[in-house]
Amino acid sequence: MSAETLSPALLDRLPSEVRRPAYDRAALKPGIAHIGVGAFHRCHQAEYADDVLAKDFGRWGLVGINIRPPLLADTLGRQGGLYTRLIRQNDEVEARIIGSIVRVVDSQDSAEPALEVLASPDIEVVTMTVTEKGYCHIPSSGALDLDHPDITHDLTNPEAPRSVPGILARALERRMASHGRPVTLLSCDNIPTNGIILGNVVRTFAERRGRRLADWIEANVGFPSAMVDRIAPATTEADIDTVEQRFGYRDAAVVVGERFRQWVIENRFAGRVPRWDRVGATFVDDVTPFEHLKMRVLNGAQTTLSYLGVLGGFEHTFETIADPLLASFVRRMLTEETLPTLMPVPGIAPAAYIEQSLSRLTNTAIRHRNHQIATDGSQKIVQRLLNPIRDRLARGESIALLSVPVAGWMAYLIKASARFGRAWQVSDPFAEKVAAIADRIGSNSNALVDSILAIDAIFDPQLAANATFRAHVVADLDGLLSNDPMGFVRQVCTGPTDARLKPPARSA
């Protein structure tokens, strides 16, 4: 007999070790809309909302909106918005039911259901986790990409938008025309100055629609920046089975995360917002130092380990960092080259943060696939790797370690090309462009690097033209595309820098 599915009716019959919402869900009214209800949102913002409701109950229920797959109706919708958040630390498992999601809206086929929610006077805050590419911006500049196919469509068809900037601009236009209530749009994606970028793309889009809308947005909409942190890998069937086997019920919307969580939010709101700061979030005047620290250290380590891990034959982060060579490489990279580029962060010692971050990545219960972390790398490497590299070069300091994962990203996409045997499938907005370069050029590292560095949406021309940067990336790419990429990493760790100009023999 199959286990009963999680639902509001099941709450009172759950095992005592499963923590339940500490408030009356029947009285819950929506005040927040969230775009992009994936594992991270359910492990992070929705949990903070649940904490706020338990501490100071108010109109801060969540309406979850997906404008891209997957559909929500068949998972969260069937469960009345309820789901299990598992905290896993090696052999420990802690279960909690999150109840902050009032309802879910699928808006993949048409923007109308999303627009109806976003334009509602009940909604005072819109949060979003739409991934880096969801902002339709140019990574190297942060500006709206007016050549993006979804943006060109939306500017021509503003009442039937497809993109996040187009949907938000149309929702704000409706708010302006109907009730005029202010709203805070809060990005929760891993992009530095994400509030500035979100403001840029929405305002630029609105300006194309007319001065009146742009002026109204300027006066009535807040775009605070935020830094979010919690490792929450994609849910697997094994995670769903764990809930059924250990706790006796079925949950199709389980999420798994680590114990650590952090949310730093710029105190720049257009109206009322939940008191997240009473449940562990931090409101600050400037998020930038926190962003730099997290992006360059934790995310820099994740990106580095993902590419080198795949090239070394490892499936998950915890397996990759368990390899003594790769653990040594990433610790040295962070300590010797990344750490000196960091801004002072109130209350945080950078060296201790590095050790804490690397320790988090060793958690054997967080099965974060390297290929998942490697997704959309072209949108991530600017903040995580290229910006610290630029800082180092400006001071005449070594980039011998930081350049390796940049070449790792290139090698990862190149090896997915037909010319290199389609070693694996990749998901990156520039995957086809890099594959076409590899198919045309073959194994000439000099020519490969020159063509990839010419992609100015990723590499700003000044950095691409830097001879030191180019020389390191060429040597690194040659080594990582060789028969023995891990031997090359060992050479980087142990040998003099100029030894990298004589990489191992390349496979045919």
If asked whether residues 266 and 322 sit together in one domain, one would say: no
What CA–CA distance (Å, rounded) separates 143 from 139? 8
508 pLDDT higher than 70: no
**What does the chain come to in residues?**
508
96 pLDDT higher than 90: yes
Residue spans of alpha helices (H) in 22-97: 39-43, 45-55
Residue located via tokens 């849910």: 235
If asked whether residues 337 and 312 sit together in one domain, one would say: yes
The type of residue at 324 is P
Query: What value does the CA radius of gyration of the chain take, rounded to a whole number of Å?
Result: 23
* Contact of 387 with 139, CB cutoff 8 Å: no
* Contact of 404 with 411, CB cutoff 8 Å: no
The type of residue at 314 is F
What CA–CA distance (Å, rounded) separates 462 from 469? 10
- Token pair of 128 as six digits: 């979003």
For 63-80, how does the pLDDT look when each residue is reduced to its tens digit (9 = 90+)?
999 999 999 999 999 999
Domain count for the chain: 2
Q: DSSP class of residue 12?
A: G
Angle between helices 403-414 and 445-453 (to 10 degrees): 100
505 pLDDT higher than 50: no
Residue 117 lies in a domain: yes
Strand duo 4-5 + 249-250: pairing: parallel
Q: Mean pLDDT throughout 257-280?
A: 97
What CA–CA distance (Å, rounded) separates 502 from 508? 17
Q: Which residues pair with 369 in a beta bridge?
A: 316
507 pLDDT higher than 50: no
pLDDT recorded at residue 495: 73
Last residue of a domain, one of 284, 301, 332: 284
Residue 508 lies in a domain: no
What CA–CA distance (Å, rounded) separates 99 from 61? 9
Q: Mean pLDDT throughout 319-332?
A: 98
If asked whether residues 129 and 223 sit together in one domain, one would say: yes
- Token pair of 174 as six digits: 């409706």
503 pLDDT higher than 70: no
If asked whether residues 276 and 366 sit together in one domain, one would say: no
376 pLDDT higher than 50: yes
Pick from 93, 90, 76, 104: nearest CA to 7: 76
Residue 313 lies in a domain: yes
Distant-in-sequence, close-in-space partners of 185: CB < 8 Å, separation ≥ 6: 126, 128, 168, 198, 199, 202, 221, 222, 223
Residue 273 lies in a domain: yes
Q: Is 442 left (phi over 0), alpha (psi -120 to 50) or beta?
A: left
CATH of the domain at 57: 3.40.50.720
If asked whether residues 310 and 196 sit together in one domain, one would say: no
Residue 167 lies in a domain: yes
Pick from 23, 31, 60, 46: nearest CA to 255: 46
pLDDT band (50, 70, 90) for residue 497:
low
What CA–CA distance (Å, rounded) separates 472 from 503? 12
What CA–CA distance (Å, rounded) separates 230 from 240? 20
pLDDT recorded at residue 496: 64
Could you write out the three-class secondary structure of 460-477?
Answer: CHHHHCCHHHHHHHHHHH
506 pLDDT higher than 50: no
Q: Which residues pair with 34 in a beta bridge?
A: 64, 127
- Token pair of 467 as six digits: 């001879």
The type of residue at 43 is C
Number of Cβ atoms within 10 Å of the Cβ of 432:
13
Last residue of a domain, one of 284, 305, 330: 284
The type of residue at 421 is G
Pick from 38, 76, 83, 89: nearest CA to 372: 38
What CA–CA distance (Å, rounded) separates 373 from 191? 15
For 377-428, how does the pLDDT look when each residue is reduced to its tens digit (9 = 90+)?
999 999 999 999 999 999 999 999 999 999 999 999 999 999 999 999 999 9
pTM over 0.85: yes
If asked whether residues 377 and 424 sit together in one domain, one would say: yes
Residue 506 lies in a domain: no
* Contact of 410 with 420, CB cutoff 8 Å: no
If asked whether residues 185 and 306 sit together in one domain, one would say: no
If asked whether residues 268 and 408 sit together in one domain, one would say: no
Average pLDDT, the chain: 95
Task: Tell me how far apart the terminal alpha carbons of the chain are, to the nearest angstrom.
Answer: 56
504 pLDDT higher than 50: no
Q: Which helix (H) or strand (E) holds 98?
A: strand 92-98
Q: Which domain holds residue 150?
A: 4-284
If asked whether residues 248 and 368 sit together in one domain, one would say: no
Distant-in-sequence, close-in-space partners of 210: CB < 8 Å, separation ≥ 6: none
Q: DSSP class of residue 282?
A: E
pLDDT recorded at residue 255: 98
If asked whether residues 250 and 318 sit together in one domain, one would say: no
pLDDT recorded at residue 1: 61
CATH of the domain at 425: 1.10.1040.10
CA distances from 451 to 78, 291, 461, 465 (A): 49, 30, 12, 12
Residue 139 lies in a domain: yes
If asked whether residues 278 and 361 sit together in one domain, one would say: no
For 118-168, how does the pLDDT look when each residue is reduced to its tens digit (9 = 90+)?
999 999 999 999 999 999 999 888 899 999 999 999 999 999 999 999 999
501 pLDDT higher than 60: no
Residue located via tokens 């996409």: 413
Last residue of a domain, one of 265, 284, 303: 284
- 3-class DSSP state for residue 454? coil
448 pLDDT higher than 80: yes
Q: Mean pLDDT throughout 314-321?
A: 98
Q: Which residues of 345-366 are buried (b: 16+ CB within 10 A; e: fewer)?
A: beeeebeebbeebbebbebebb
213 pLDDT higher than 50: yes
| Angle value at C-alpha 129, between 31 and 281, nearest 5 degrees | 65
If asked whether residues 263 and 293 sit together in one domain, one would say: no
Residue 200 lies in a domain: yes
Q: Mean pLDDT throughout 200-214?
A: 96
